[in-house]
A and B are shown apart, each in its own frame.
Chain A
Amino acid sequence: DVKVTQSSRYLVKRTGEKVFLECVQDMDHENMFWYRQDPGLGLRLIYFSYDVKMKEKGDIPEGYSVSREKKERFSLILESASTNQTSMYLCASMRHDDSGNTIYFGEGSWLTVV
């Protein structure tokens, strides 16, 4: 089974802190994604990566950056956390084959910025 692991399930950080959210997948997928999920807004794409060291902005990249130094790991970075970044963050990786794309999600990281 594909496993997407987000190392931190619950975090509380102070305004202005630098925050790292780590995501690891074990299936050699090339594509990985970071979303945030907020009530009433559904899932919104922050950044995605289609290869090592390659990244693309999603719909809401402001205030975030990412790092993909190894294929299995995709990190989301909040350079200076703010209260409006309190949210649930979901990492995903994608398998692409003859039947199309299938996305696998991690269990989510709940971030509270105080």
Chain B
Amino acid sequence: GDSVTQMEGPVTLSEEACLTINCTYTATGYPSLFWYVQYPGEGLQLLLKATKADDKGSNKGFEATYRKETTSFHLEKGSVQVSDSAVYFCVVDRGSTLGRLYFGRGTQLTVWP
């Protein structure tokens, strides 16, 4: 079956540090890949997406590249801010019209000033 494995947290960084949150997946076919972010007390928001191999999704300084050969979609940011403190979810969508998604367990990021 499909599964998503992402780096366990919590991750604690100082402001302006580099961030990488690893995500690997198992899925048949050509899934779409997402990163969602959940700020404290809120629902999940789409951060970025990539729909085919070698695509790079980017938003708010975050980037992730769809690597089919390594089945990975690692989230990166060169310089984190306190406002980036949140939980990040790696998500796989096989693209069916039913819309079943497969979530990683989430990685808590805390950025200190």
* Residues B95 and A101 in contact, CB atoms below 8 Å apart: yes
* Residues B105 and A48 in contact, CB atoms below 8 Å apart: no
* Residues B97 and A96 in contact, CB atoms below 8 Å apart: yes
On chain B, the residues within 8 Å of A84 by CB distance are: none
Interface size class for chain A? 20 to 34
On chain B, the residues within 8 Å of A90 by CB distance are: 43-44
Interface size class for chain B? 20 to 34
How long is the Cα–Cα vector from A48 to B96 in the complex, in angstroms?
13
* Residues B51 and A100 in contact, CB atoms below 8 Å apart: yes
How long is the Cα–Cα vector from A96 to B101 in the complex, in angstroms?
13
How many A-B pairs fall under 8 Å by CB? 61
How long is the Cα–Cα vector from A25 to B43 in the complex, in angstroms?
14
A45 on the B face (CB < 8 A): yes
Which stretch in A13-21, A73-81, A102-110 binds the other chain? Answer: A102-110
On chain A, the residues within 8 Å of B100 by CB distance are: 45, 48
How long is the Cα–Cα vector from A103 to B91 in the complex, in angstroms?
11
Known: A102-B46, A105-B43, A108-B43. A50 touches B105 (CB 8 A): no
How long is the Cα–Cα vector from A101 to B94 in the complex, in angstroms?
9
A binding-site residues for B, Cβ under 8 Å:
4, 31, 33, 40-43, 45, 48, 50, 56, 90, 92, 94, 96, 99-108
B binding-site residues for A, Cβ under 8 Å:
32, 34, 36, 41-46, 49, 51, 89, 91, 93, 95, 97-101, 103-106
